[in-house]
Copies of this chain bind each other. A is one copy, B any other.
Amino acid sequence: MSRIGLTAQRKLILDIVSEASDHPTASDIIDRLKLQGQTVAYATVYNSLRYLTDQGLIRELKLEGDASRYDARMEDHQHIVCTSCGRVDEVMTEIPKDWLRQIEAETGYSITEEQLLFKGVCAECRTSNNKAVQ
Protein backbone atom coordinates (compact mmCIF):
# COMPACT_ATOMS: atom_id res chain seq x y z
CA MET A 1 0.00 0.00 0.00
CA SER A 2 1.10 3.51 -0.78
CA ARG A 3 1.34 5.87 2.15
CA ILE A 4 2.84 9.00 0.63
CA GLY A 5 -0.05 11.27 1.22
CA LEU A 6 1.89 14.06 2.87
CA THR A 7 3.36 15.62 -0.26
CA ALA A 8 5.66 18.64 -0.24
CA GLN A 9 2.74 21.02 -0.79
CA ARG A 10 0.60 19.41 1.90
CA LYS A 11 3.52 19.50 4.35
CA LEU A 12 4.07 23.22 3.69
CA ILE A 13 0.43 23.88 4.45
CA LEU A 14 0.33 21.63 7.50
CA ASP A 15 3.40 23.45 8.86
CA ILE A 16 1.79 26.83 8.39
CA VAL A 17 -1.38 25.74 10.18
CA SER A 18 0.61 24.02 12.95
CA GLU A 19 2.79 27.04 13.60
CA ALA A 20 -0.05 29.55 13.44
CA SER A 21 -1.83 30.58 16.61
CA ASP A 22 -4.49 32.63 14.89
CA HIS A 23 -6.63 29.99 13.17
CA PRO A 24 -5.77 31.14 9.63
CA THR A 25 -8.12 31.09 6.64
CA ALA A 26 -7.19 29.57 3.25
CA SER A 27 -6.45 33.07 2.07
CA ASP A 28 -4.13 33.71 5.07
CA ILE A 29 -2.34 30.48 4.22
CA ILE A 30 -1.88 31.54 0.59
CA ASP A 31 -0.40 34.83 1.80
CA ARG A 32 2.01 33.05 4.13
CA LEU A 33 3.11 30.66 1.39
CA LYS A 34 3.88 33.67 -0.79
CA LEU A 35 5.84 35.30 2.04
CA GLN A 36 7.90 32.10 2.29
CA GLY A 37 8.56 32.34 -1.45
CA GLN A 38 6.66 29.11 -2.01
CA THR A 39 4.37 28.74 -4.97
CA VAL A 40 1.40 26.42 -4.51
CA ALA A 41 -1.64 26.57 -6.76
CA TYR A 42 -4.79 28.03 -5.33
CA ALA A 43 -6.74 24.80 -5.87
CA THR A 44 -3.96 22.81 -4.23
CA VAL A 45 -4.29 24.87 -1.08
CA TYR A 46 -7.98 24.00 -0.87
CA ASN A 47 -7.38 20.38 -1.86
CA SER A 48 -4.65 20.08 0.75
CA LEU A 49 -6.74 21.62 3.49
CA ARG A 50 -9.48 19.12 2.71
CA TYR A 51 -7.00 16.26 2.65
CA LEU A 52 -5.42 17.26 5.96
CA THR A 53 -8.87 17.64 7.52
CA ASP A 54 -9.97 14.22 6.26
CA GLN A 55 -6.78 12.68 7.64
CA GLY A 56 -7.53 14.19 11.03
CA LEU A 57 -4.32 16.23 11.02
CA ILE A 58 -6.10 19.57 11.21
CA ARG A 59 -9.66 20.70 11.74
CA GLU A 60 -11.85 23.10 9.82
CA LEU A 61 -13.65 25.78 11.83
CA LYS A 62 -16.63 27.82 10.74
CA LEU A 63 -16.67 30.83 12.99
CA GLU A 64 -17.42 34.43 12.10
CA GLY A 65 -17.22 35.50 8.46
CA ASP A 66 -17.57 33.44 5.31
CA ALA A 67 -14.14 31.87 5.12
CA SER A 68 -13.33 28.66 7.00
CA ARG A 69 -10.45 28.80 9.44
CA TYR A 70 -8.05 25.97 10.16
CA ASP A 71 -6.69 24.68 13.44
CA ALA A 72 -3.96 22.13 14.09
CA ARG A 73 -4.94 21.78 17.78
CA MET A 74 -6.75 18.49 17.72
CA GLU A 75 -7.60 18.30 21.42
CA ASP A 76 -11.31 18.77 22.01
CA HIS A 77 -11.83 22.49 22.46
CA GLN A 78 -14.04 25.41 21.50
CA HIS A 79 -13.56 29.03 20.41
CA ILE A 80 -14.28 32.58 21.43
CA VAL A 81 -14.05 35.59 19.12
CA CYS A 82 -13.59 39.21 20.09
CA THR A 83 -16.32 41.39 18.61
CA SER A 84 -14.00 44.38 18.84
CA CYS A 85 -10.70 43.24 17.29
CA GLY A 86 -11.73 39.94 15.68
CA ARG A 87 -9.15 37.75 17.39
CA VAL A 88 -10.05 34.12 17.98
CA ASP A 89 -9.01 32.38 21.19
CA GLU A 90 -9.25 28.88 22.51
CA VAL A 91 -11.79 27.77 25.08
CA MET A 92 -10.39 24.71 26.83
CA THR A 93 -12.90 24.53 29.71
CA GLU A 94 -14.88 21.33 29.28
CA ILE A 95 -18.57 21.24 28.47
CA PRO A 96 -20.58 20.13 31.53
CA LYS A 97 -21.59 16.50 30.90
CA ASP A 98 -24.85 16.74 32.80
CA TRP A 99 -25.88 19.71 30.69
CA LEU A 100 -25.34 17.65 27.53
CA ARG A 101 -27.46 14.84 29.05
CA GLN A 102 -30.16 17.40 29.75
CA ILE A 103 -30.11 18.54 26.09
CA GLU A 104 -30.30 14.94 24.90
CA ALA A 105 -33.30 14.41 27.15
CA GLU A 106 -34.95 17.60 25.90
CA THR A 107 -34.40 17.00 22.18
CA GLY A 108 -34.39 13.22 21.88
CA TYR A 109 -31.09 13.41 19.98
CA SER A 110 -27.97 11.50 20.86
CA ILE A 111 -25.28 14.17 20.63
CA THR A 112 -22.10 13.29 18.75
CA GLU A 113 -20.45 16.68 18.37
CA GLU A 114 -20.53 20.20 19.77
CA GLN A 115 -19.58 23.33 17.82
CA LEU A 116 -19.63 26.17 20.28
CA LEU A 117 -18.78 29.75 19.47
CA PHE A 118 -18.68 32.41 22.13
CA LYS A 119 -18.49 36.10 21.38
CA GLY A 120 -17.32 38.85 23.65
CA VAL A 121 -14.69 41.47 24.25
CA CYS A 122 -11.14 40.37 24.92
CA ALA A 123 -9.08 41.69 27.85
CA GLU A 124 -6.92 43.91 25.59
CA CYS A 125 -9.92 45.52 23.93
CA ARG A 126 -11.58 46.18 27.28
CA THR A 127 -8.40 47.86 28.49
CA SER A 128 -7.85 50.02 25.40
CA ASN A 129 -11.53 50.87 25.29
CA ASN A 130 -11.38 52.11 28.87
CA LYS A 131 -8.32 54.20 28.02
CA ALA A 132 -10.16 55.74 25.05
CA VAL A 133 -13.13 56.63 27.22
CA GLN A 134 -11.08 58.25 30.01
Residues of A bordering B, CB below 8 Å: 62, 80, 82-83, 89-93, 95-96, 99, 102-104, 106-123, 126
Contacts and interface: CB of A to CB of B under 8 A. Distances in A.
Contacts of A96: 96, 99
Given A112-B120, A116-B114, A126-B110, A93 B89 contact: no
B108 A113 contact: no
Nearest to A114: B118
A119 B111 contact: yes
A110 B92 CA distance: 16
Contacts of A115: 116-119
Contacts of A111: 80, 118-120
9 contacts: A80-B111, A89-B109, A91-B106, A93-B99, A96-B99, A107-B120, A111-B119, A112-B121, A114-B119
A109 B116 contact: no
A37 to B, nearest CB: 33
Given A93-B99, A96-B96, A107 B80 contact: yes
Contact of A107 (B62, B91, B102, B109): B91
